[in-house]
Structure 1
Amino acid sequence: MNVLVYSGPEVLDTSTQSLQSLRSLLVPNYAIQTINFQSLASQPWAANCAMLVLPACRSALVPTPPFASAIKSYVERGGALLALGASARRQARQPFAGETLEARMARMNVGASSASALRFSDRTSGTLDVTLPGHGEGSYRVDIVEAQDGSTMSAMLSGKAEIVEIEGWKGAEVLGRYGDRGSKEVAGVCCPVGEGKVVFWSALADHSLTEEPVKSILARPDSQVPQQELITAEAQRLKLLRTSFASLGLRLPSDDRSLSRPLPQFLTGTPLKSKIIERITAALSATDLENGPHVLQDSNDTFHFHAASEGRKLLEEARTPSDAPSDSSIWQPKHIIVCTGGNLPSKDDTPLFDISKYYAELDEARHKHVGPTCTGSWGVGEALLYGEVVTSTQTMLDKNPRFMSLLPTPFLSLATHQLAGRGRGGNVWISPAGCLQFSLLLYVPMQTLPTYRVVFVQYLFGLVVVEACRDAGVLGKLGGKVRLKWPNDIYVVLDDGEKRKIGGVLVNTSFNGGSVEVIIGCGLNVLNPPPTTSLQQLVPPDVDIRLSMERTAAVIMAKFEEMWNTFLINRGSFAPFMDLYLERWLHSDQLVTLTTTNPPQQVRVVGITPNHGLLRTMPERGGWSGGNGGEFIDLQPDGNSFDLMAGLIKTKS
C-alpha cells in the first residue's frame, strides 16, 4: 500500500522533511510516494492509498472541485488523511424552527466554506472546514505541546494555522494541545469522517527540530532550548507522529535499527558445481583474496571482495548498532564475501535465507523442470549473490556497468530487505519481511532474441511467477488465485473477489555489440504478515502448506529456465505462451475507456499484439465514440497513471 504525499507548487520547500519523517517511521510497511495536483484530482489513486498527506504550504492551497471531491470521497469511503500546518473549524448544525427556504439558503451561504477550504460533513456534528494557509518565514514560532498521555514537548514548530471548536465533533480525539497558550488551544486532533478518519495538526509536526527553519529559530536568545531537552523533544515529536498514524489505522513497523544500512553479501555457487565461483572471480580479477580484499570501483558503487575467512568479522561489525546516516550515497563500499570450493555460509550468517536449503530445493526443481545443463556452464539460479540487507539488487547491476559486464551469466542477486528497491517508472518497491526480491542478469545474442521482441521478456517472467505459484512445491491448486495484471504486475484474487497486488516485474535492457544485456527484477510477497497481502495469506489455517522463501525462489528459477529455453528456441516469439498468458491475466473482455481521444472512446480488451506486445482492443459497439467495432486499436501505457489500465494512449498507426 502507498502513503501519498501531496507535492504541489504551494508546498513548503522544507516539507521534504515530511518525506523523511514518513519514511523513517513507516518503511517498510508502506511505500512513500509523492502525488501532484493533477494526479490527485484525476487519477484512480485511492484504491491503493493507505494514507494521504497534505504537508504545510508556503501559499494557501486552493482546491478545485475535482481535487476537493477526490479527497472527500476517499476519506468518506474509509481513507485516512493527515493534514499538517492546517486550520480546521467546526460549524455546528442548529435547528431553526419555522425557517423559510430563503432564510435557510442565506444561512447556508453565510456558513459555506471558502474557495480554499476542504469541507467535511456529519449529520450530528455539523461541518468541518479545513484549510492549508500559507506559512511565510515571519509566521513561524516554536511552541510547547502537551501530548494526550501527559508528556510535554518543549519545542514544536507552528505557524498561522489554528484548530477551532473542534471538540464538539462527535468522536474527536485530541492528540496534543499548546501548553504555553492560556486557553490550551488544540494543536492536533483526530476526527472520524464517514467511514474514514482525518488527523489535523495546526503545528508543523513533520518538521525536525534539528533542521531548518526550527534550527535557526532555536538559535535566537529568546527561543533557546537546552540540547538534552531538544533531543527529548525530537523523540517526542516522532512519537506524536506514530500516535497520529496509529489513530488513522496504520500498522507501524518495528523499530529495527539493523535495517538502516546494508550488510555484507555472500557470493556463492551451487555445491554441485564448485567451479562456478572460480570462473566468476577470475572474470572479476578477484582471485587472490587471502592477502587482502579486491577493490572494484564502478559508476554507482565501490565493491570490496573478501575471502570467506573474513566473513564473520565483517558481519559482526556491520550488525553492531549504529547511528549511521540514512543517505544511500554514503553506503560505501559494498562488501562481498566470496565462498569458494562449493562452501556456503552457515545459517547463523544468513538467518533469514538458508542458502544451503535453497540450492537443495533448486536441484530438485531443476530435475523436475529443466534437466542437466551443458558441461562447463550452469543453470539459472546456480550462481547467487545474497544479501540480508542491500540498497537495491537492480541498481547494483544496472548502475554499475563495469561490474555487470564482467559477470558471467546467468547471475542471480537476491536480498531479504532492500533499502531503496525500485519499481516501474521510478516508483519505490517496499520490501518488508517476507518479500522475495531479486534481480537476474542474462546475456543473449541478438540473433537469438531480436530487439523488437525484448518487450516480451517482462510478460514471460510474469507468467513464470504465476505458474510457479501453482507448482506443487509452492501453493499447488491455491496458486490459481494468483493472476497477471498487464503489463507487469502480479495480483491475487481473494475469495470476495477483491484484487490485490502482491508483486511486480521490472526489466532493464541494454545493447552491447551483438548481445542484449537483460536484467529482470522481481518482487513477490511470499510470507508477509498483514497489512501487506502475500501468498501466505492464501493458505487456510486447516491446509498443510508450508511456504518457504528458499523453495519459492528455487521453483521460480527452474520454471523460468524451462520457459526461457523455449522462448529462445523460438527467437523471442511469444506465440508458444500466448494462450496460457491470456488464461492467467485479469483483462479478458475487460471494458476500458480511452480518454486520450476526443471524444473519449470505450474499447474492449481482446489480447496483446504478437509483434510488439501492445494491448490489443476493439471499439465497443454503441460506445461513446460511436465506433463500428470492426477494427483493432492497439494501446500502450501513458507512463503517468497510478492504474495503467486507466491511463492508456493510442499508438500511431
Structure 2
Amino acid sequence: MNVLVYNGPGVSKTSLSHTISTLKTLLLPNYTVQTITPLSLASDPWTATCALLVLPGGRDLPYVASLAQSNALISSFVRNGGSFLGLCAGAYYACRRLEWEVGSEQEVSGDRPLNFFHGVGRGCVYPGFQYESENGARAVSLLVSDILTGKEEQLNGLYYNGGGEFLEAKNVPNAKILAEYTNGDAAGKVAGVCCSVGNGVAVLWAVHPEYPLTLEPALSAITNTRPDIKDCIAQLEEQRWRLMRESLRLLGLKLPVPSNVKTLQPLPQIFTSTPELAPAIATMVESLLQDTVESEPIILKDRTNTFYFHRTAYSPDLVDRIQISQETGPTDVDDMVRHIIVLDGGSIPPVDATPAFNISQYYMDLNAAQREKGIFSDRRQKMVPLLSLATHQLNGRGRGSNTWLSPPGCLQFSLLLRLPLSHFPASKLVFIQYLFGLAVVEACQSASVLGTFGENVRLKWPNDIYVVTEHGAAKIGGILVNTSFMAGSVDVIVGCGLNVLSPSPLTSLYQIIPTGHNDTELSMERTAAAIMATFDEMWSKFLSSRGSFEPFIDLYLRKWLHSDQLVKLTTVDPPIMVRIAGITMDHGLLRTMPETRNYFSHRGDDYIDLQPDGNSFDLMAGLIKAKT
C-alpha cells in the first residue's frame, strides 16, 4: 500500500522533505512513501492502493487552484474509508472555512471544498508571520490528549510558523480534540483535531510535527524563542516521534515494530557454492581477480564501487571487523565498500551466520527440486548462474522511479545470467521477465511450497505477482530485468522480490494458507529452491528454442489476470475502451482490440499493441495511461 504526499503548487519544500523523511522512518517497510502531483491526483487510479493521503505545509491559495480537479476524488476517497493527514496549510485546506490574517494585507478567507473539519480554521495564533521567512517561527508547547484514554501530556518545542486554530472544535460534532496550545497568545486554542469523515478519518495539525527538532529550521526556532528547553532537545524529539506515531495509528496505519533510527550498513556478501560446483566457482573468481594485487583483502575497483574480497574461511571475528570498518566509513550507501567473503571448496558458513536463510538447507532443497524435474549435475555445470540473496535491501528498485521495499519475510534476490548474442536474438530478451514471472507462479503452486493453496497466485502483466483472494487481488511480488551488452554477449540481471512470510498489513504466501492447515510448512529456502529449479527447467527450453515464447504462451495466459479484460486506453486521443487479447510473439507487446467499431491504428491495423516501457498500467483498475 502507498502513502502519497502531495507535491505541487503551494507546497513548502522544507515541509515536503521533512514529511517524507518522517513518514519513511516510521512506516517503512510496511508502506511505500512517495509523492503525487496534481495531475496524477486528478487522473490516475491512486485510490485503490492508497493507505494515506498527506497534504503538507505551504500556502493554501495555490492548493485551491491546483486541487480543483481532484477535490471530489479526495473527498470520496476519505469518505469511503480512506485516511487524510493535513499539516499547517494542509490542515487549513481541509476545514469547512478558512479565515487567515483577516483584516491584514495578507488576508486569505473563504470556504474550502473538502470540509473534513466541519468548522473554521483561523490564524495566525501567534503574531509576526512573514512569507518565505522565519521571522514568525517559534517553538510552541501543546497539551496533547489521548482521545482513547483521556491521558494528557505536555509537549514542548514543536515547530510553528503561520499555523492557526480549529475554532470551537469542542462544538464540532465530527471532531475530537488532540491538542491545545499552552503558551503565549494562543493558550487554550485547539492545535490538532481528529475528524471522522464518513467511513474514513482525517487528522489535522496546525503546527509542524513533521519537523525534526534536531535540524533546521526547528533548531533555530527553539534557540530564538525557547532557549530554556535547548538542553532537552533529545528528549523532546522522542516526544515528537511519539506524537507522529500516535497520529498515524489514529489514521489506521499499522506501524512496523519500532527500532532505533540509524543508518543501515551493508553486511558482507558470502560467496559460496555446492561442492560439485566449487571448481567452476574457483575459476570464475580467479578470472575476476586476475589483474589485482594479491593482498588481504584483495581490492577490486570499478567506476562506481570498491570491492574487498576476503578469500578465507568464515570467521565471526572477520565479520565483526568488517562491520566496524563500515560504521566508521562513509555514511552514503553508494560510497560504502562492498565486502565479499569467498568460501572456496564448497564450504558453507554456519547456520548462525545467516539466521534469516539457511544456506545448507537451501542447497538440499534445491537438489531435491532439481532431481524431481530431472535436472542432473552434468547439465547444471554447463551454466553456473550467480544468485544473490538479501535479507534487507538498502537501495531496492522497481520499474521506473519506483522503489522496492524490503519487508520482513520477503524473499528478495538477483540472478545473473550471461548469454552469447550469436545464439540468442536480442529482440527476445523482453520475454525473460515473462518467463521468470511464470516460473515464480508455477513454483508457488508446487507441492514443496503451497500446493493447491497456490492456485490463486497469478501474473499481472508485465512484471508483477498477485494473489487473488475473496477480498480482491493484492500484489505479493515483482520482477525487474536489467541487461548490459558487451563483447558479443549480454549480461541479464533478474531481480525479484516475493512476500513469503511477511506479516500483515502486507499480503504474502503465508496468508494464503487457510487457518488450521498447519501441515503446510512454508519456508524461504524451499520457496527459493522451487523457483530456481522451475526456472532452470524453463530456461533450458527457452534457450533451445532461441528465445521463442511459443512453448510457454498457453500456460502464461492461463496464469495471468487479463484474458479478455476490458480496459480504458488513454494513450490515444480520444481515449477508447479496448479488450486485452494476448501478447505478441515477436516483441512481447500487449495486444489489445478496440471495442469501437471500425477503429484502426495509425498504421491501419485493427488492433493496438502496447509496450511495457511506453505506458503506465493499472490493469487492476481498468486503465492504461500514457507515462508522464
- TM above 0.5: yes
Residue 139 (structure 2) pairs with residue 142 (structure 1): yes
Residue 536 (structure 2) pairs with residue 532 (structure 1): no
Distance in 1, matches of 2:344 and 2:593, equals: 57
SS at match of 1:528: coil
Structure 1 residues 115 and 303, CA gap change in structure 2 (3 angstroms) = farther
Distance in 1, matches of 2:312 and 2:446, equals: 35
Identity %: 45
Deviation (angstroms), 1:204: 1.2
Distance in 2, matches of 1:238 and 1:317, equals: 33
Structure 1 residues 525 and 10, CA gap change in structure 2 (3 angstroms) = same
SS at match of 1:365: helix
Q: Which moved more, 1:326-335 or 1:300-309?
A: 326-335
Deviation (angstroms), 1:173: 3.4
Residues 194-244 of structure 1 deviation map (CA, whole Å, 9 limit, x = unaligned): 111111111111111122222333343x44254431111111111111011
SS at match of 1:251: coil
SS at match of 1:430: coil
Structure 1 residues 315 and 81, CA gap change in structure 2 (3 angstroms) = farther
Q: Which amino acid aligns with 1:357?
A: Q
Distance in 1, matches of 2:123 and 2:537, equals: 58
Question: Does the 8 Å contact 2:576/2:596 carry over to 1?
Answer: no
Residue 400 (structure 2) pairs with residue 425 (structure 1): yes
Question: Does the 8 Å contact 1:157/1:207 carry over to 2?
Answer: yes
Q: Give the 5 Å matches for 1:31-70.
A: 31-58=32-59, 60=61, 61-62=63-64, 63-70=66-73
Distance in 1, matches of 2:413 and 2:461, equals: 20
Residue 148 (structure 2) pairs with residue 174 (structure 1): no
- Name the residue aligned to 2:429: 454
- Name the residue aligned to 1:83: 86
RMSD of equivalent CA atoms? 3.3
Residues 476-508 of structure 1 deviation map (CA, whole Å, 9 limit, x = unaligned): 111110011111111000034x01000111011
Distance in 2, matches of 1:226 and 1:330, equals: 37
Residues 40-61 of structure 1 deviation map (CA, whole Å, 9 limit, x = unaligned): 1110011111111111115642
Structure 1 residues 34 and 151, CA gap change in structure 2 (3 angstroms) = same
Unaligned runs of 5+ in 1: 93-112, 380-408
Q: Give the 5 Å matches for 1:7-18.
A: 7-14=7-14, 15-18=16-19
Structure 1 residues 327 and 239, CA gap change in structure 2 (3 angstroms) = farther
Residue 410 (structure 2) pairs with residue 435 (structure 1): yes
Distance in 2, matches of 1:411 and 1:332, equals: 22
SS at match of 1:371: coil
Deviation (angstroms), 1:317: 5.5
**2:238 corresponds to which of 229, 232, 235:** 235
Distance in 2, matches of 1:591 and 1:567, equals: 31
Distance in 2, matches of 1:134 and 1:517, equals: 56
Q: Which amino acid aligns with 1:632?
A: Y
Residues 421-473 of structure 1 deviation map (CA, whole Å, 9 limit, x = unaligned): 11111211111111011111111111322111111111111111111111111
Q: Which amino acid aligns with 1:41?
A: A
Q: Which amino acid aligns with 1:36?
A: T
Distance in 1, matches of 2:56 and 2:190, equals: 18
Distance in 2, matches of 1:416 and 1:166, equals: 47
**1:486 corresponds to which of 455, 458, 461:** 461
Deviation (angstroms), 1:545: 0.7
Q: Which moved more, 1:300-309 or 1:198-207?
A: 300-309
Distance in 1, matches of 2:297 and 2:601, equals: 69
SS at match of 1:274: helix
Distance in 1, matches of 2:243 and 2:361, equals: 44
Distance in 1, matches of 2:370 and 2:501, equals: 23
- Name the residue aligned to 1:120: 115
SS at match of 2:315: helix
| TM-score of the aligned structures, taking structure 2 as reference length | 0.87
Structure 1 residues 591 and 486, CA gap change in structure 2 (3 angstroms) = same
**2:388 corresponds to which of 413, 420, 444:** 413
**2:272 corresponds to which of 268, 279, 283:** 268
Question: Does the 8 Å contact 2:180/2:187 carry over to 1?
Answer: no
Question: Does the 8 Å contact 1:157/1:204 carry over to 2?
Answer: yes
Q: Give the 5 Å matches for 1:451-600.
A: 451-496=426-471, 498-543=472-517, 544-600=519-575
Q: Which amino acid aligns with 2:436?
A: F
Structure 1 residues 256 and 314, CA gap change in structure 2 (3 angstroms) = farther
Deviation (angstroms), 1:90: 5.9
Structure 1 residues 491 and 116, CA gap change in structure 2 (3 angstroms) = farther
- Name the residue aligned to 2:210: 206
Q: Which moved more, 1:633-642 or 1:417-426?
A: 633-642
Residue 6 (structure 2) pairs with residue 6 (structure 1): yes
Residue 159 (structure 2) pairs with residue 157 (structure 1): yes
Question: Does the 8 Å contact 1:618/1:632 carry over to 2?
Answer: yes
Distance in 1, matches of 2:343 and 2:614, equals: 42
Q: Give the 5 Å matches for 1:620-639.
A: 620-621=595-596, 631-637=606-612
- Name the residue aligned to 2:362: 358
Unaligned runs of 5+ in 2: 98-107, 146-150
- Name the residue aligned to 1:391: none
- Name the residue aligned to 2:104: none
Deviation (angstroms), 1:278: 1.5
Q: Which amino acid aligns with 1:377?
A: Q
Structure 1 residues 90 and 411, CA gap change in structure 2 (3 angstroms) = closer
Deviation (angstroms), 1:649: 5.3
Deviation (angstroms), 1:279: 2.2
Residues 350-403 of structure 1 deviation map (CA, whole Å, 9 limit, x = unaligned): 111000000110111111225124379365xxxxxxxxxxxxxxxxxxxxxxxx
Residues 298-321 of structure 1 deviation map (CA, whole Å, 9 limit, x = unaligned): 333322122444631243457789
Distance in 2, matches of 1:91 and 1:490, equals: 42
Distance in 2, matches of 1:117 and 1:324, equals: 52
Structure 1 residues 490 and 304, CA gap change in structure 2 (3 angstroms) = same
Structure 1 residues 638 and 266, CA gap change in structure 2 (3 angstroms) = closer
Question: Does the 8 Å contact 1:601/1:625 carry over to 2?
Answer: no
Structure 1 residues 412 and 80, CA gap change in structure 2 (3 angstroms) = same
- Name the residue aligned to 2:100: none
**1:250 corresponds to which of 250, 253, 264:** 253
Residue 190 (structure 2) pairs with residue 186 (structure 1): yes
Residue 592 (structure 2) pairs with residue 604 (structure 1): no
Residues 75-110 of structure 1 deviation map (CA, whole Å, 9 limit, x = unaligned): 111111111123448669xxxxxxxxxxxxxxxxxx
Structure 1 residues 90 and 66, CA gap change in structure 2 (3 angstroms) = closer
- Name the residue aligned to 1:445: 420
- Name the residue aligned to 2:30: 29
Deviation (angstroms), 1:10: 2.1
| TM-score of the aligned structures, taking structure 1 as reference length | 0.84
Q: Which amino acid aligns with 1:151?
A: E
Distance in 1, matches of 2:159 and 2:493, equals: 46
Distance in 1, matches of 2:573 and 2:614, equals: 20
Q: Which moved more, 1:424-433 or 1:171-180?
A: 171-180
- Name the residue aligned to 1:342: 346
Distance in 1, matches of 2:583 and 2:501, equals: 32
When the two structures are aligned, how many residues end up with a matched partner? 595
- Name the residue aligned to 1:388: none
Q: Which amino acid aligns with 1:236?
A: Q
Distance in 2, matches of 1:378 and 1:484, equals: 30
Distance in 1, matches of 2:330 and 2:510, equals: 31
- Name the residue aligned to 1:399: none
Deviation (angstroms), 1:153: 2.6
